[in-house]
């Protein structure tokens, strides 16, 4: 949650420009807001390498979940 700025009630409430159409109310858009060094300093018992391994595992889980969603329709007309 710390690395991707995930909030319990969604993170698109920073300004009206964050979500002009109201599509993401209560949802989170993953945004990397801090560096790996800052993340490791937040969690004193983890090194930057350990944080990187954890993030790699999390990215894989997110990708595995995302790949199961239906793909959007493509506009392939020329």
pLDDT per residue as tens digits for the range 30-77: 888 888 888 888 888 888 899 889 889 989 998 999 999 998 888 888
Q: In whole angstroms, give the CA distance from residue 5 to residue 33.
A: 7
Instruction: Compute the average pLDDT of residues 10-39.
Output: 83
Task: Of 54, 51, 72, 71, give the one whose Cα is nearest residue 62.
Answer: 54
User: Which is more confidently placed, 74 or 15?
Assistant: 74
User: Which is more confidently placed, 34 or 15?
Assistant: 34
- Within 8 A by CB and 6+ apart from 11, the residues are 5, 28, 29, 31
31 within 8 A of 25, measured Cβ to Cβ: no
pLDDT at 56: 93
31 within 8 A of 11, measured Cβ to Cβ: yes
Instruction: Compute the average pLDDT of residues 22-29.
Output: 87
Q: In whole angstroms, give the CA distance from residue 53 to residue 32.
A: 16
């Amino acid at each position: 949650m710390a690395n991707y700025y995930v909030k319990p009630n969604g993170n698109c409430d920073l300004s009206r420009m964050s979500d002009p159409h109201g599509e993401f109310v209560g949802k989170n858009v993953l945004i990397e807001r801090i560096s790996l060094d800052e993340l490791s300093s937040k969690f004193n018992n983890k090194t930057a390498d350990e944080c990187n391994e954890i993030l790699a595992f999390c990215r894989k889980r997110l990708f595995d979940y995302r790949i199961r969603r239906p793909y959007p329709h493509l506009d392939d007309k020329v």
